[in-house]
Structure 1
Amino acid sequence: MTLRSDPQHAGRTAAGRPAAVRFLKLKLLALLLLCALPVYGVATYWSGGGSWLPAAVYALMSVITSALYGYDKQQAQRGGQRTPEKLLHAGELLGGWPGALLAQQVFRHKTRKFSYQLVFWLIVLLHQLFWMDRLLFGGNFLSRHLF
């Protein structure tokens, strides 16, 4: 049996150490680019007299969602009760998608399931569209055309 097919050793080297994240620099660059718009949007909102709450929500939800990924990965390896995908997606939707993206790479978890990744990237896109709308149209375009 190879280590690749053994779920307990997934993401580990032959010596049992955690495997390095492949294409780390490229993935960090992608994360920075994806976070640029929300960070700029939150900073603009905050500097314009808005609340600091969006920044806190993104940070807190990223930590919580990342922890949920770690717990789910641990439970998957042990054969325990898993975290429902709806809960993981809820954390991402509530602002935890940056933490989820990091956790997917660090824990090598939920990266291959197409249906999961589709929903995840739609959530990321939704956040990007929200901040584009907020910055370019004052938040009026989406609300005027969708509701």
Structure 2
Amino acid sequence: MRIETALALAAIAIVYNLVVFGIYWHDKQAARNGGWRVKESTLLLLAFAGGGPGALAAQRLLRHKTRKPPFNLALPLFFILQMGWLIVAIVAPEAVTALLSKLARD
């Protein structure tokens, strides 16, 4: 993977996680003010789909969904899995490229 591609993917991931954090913040504000809430399934999907760091940061910093199952287990799990994937991508980028190429062909 070229460095430009890796940097672009990193930038996309950062922006996505900022958006996820913002959505969790919005939901926390809505909970306080009695406003429109984001579905729990949507919050979990956003975290699962690469937003684990943003969701976990929001949970910890905003104290939102800290005791509610499945958030108290799922968000740390998504974070660990996504950080593991990142480590693999840094340590063995050729393996990730090969896997993505195989998935694209299938």
Return the alpha-carbon distance in structure 2 between the equivalents of residues 116 and 69 of structure 1: 12
Return the alpha-carbon distance in structure 1 between the equivalents of residues 61 and 80 of structure 2: 22
In the superposition, the TM-score normalised over structure 2's length comes to: 0.70
CA RMSD, 1 decimal:
2.8
Higher helix content, 1 or 2: 2
Q: Which has the larger radius of gyration?
A: 1
Aligned match of 1:90: 45
Return the alpha-carbon distance in structure 2 between the equivalents of residues 91 and 123 of structure 1: 10
Q: How does 1:124-139 map to 2 (within 5 A)?
A: 124-134=79-89, 135-136=91-92, 138-139=95-96
Unaligned runs of 5+ in 2: none
In the superposition, the TM-score normalised over structure 1's length comes to: 0.54
Unaligned runs of 5+ in 1: 1-44
Q: 1:53 to 1:86 in 2, by over 3 A?
A: farther
Q: Percent identity?
A: 30
Aligned match of 1:113: 68
Aligned match of 1:22: none
Q: Which stretches of structure 1, 4 residues or more, deviate above 3 A after TM superposition?
A: none
Contact 1:75 1:82 in 2 (8 A): yes
Indicate which of 2, 7, 10 corresponds to 1:55: 10
Alpha-carbon shift at residue 72 of structure 1 (Å) = 0.5
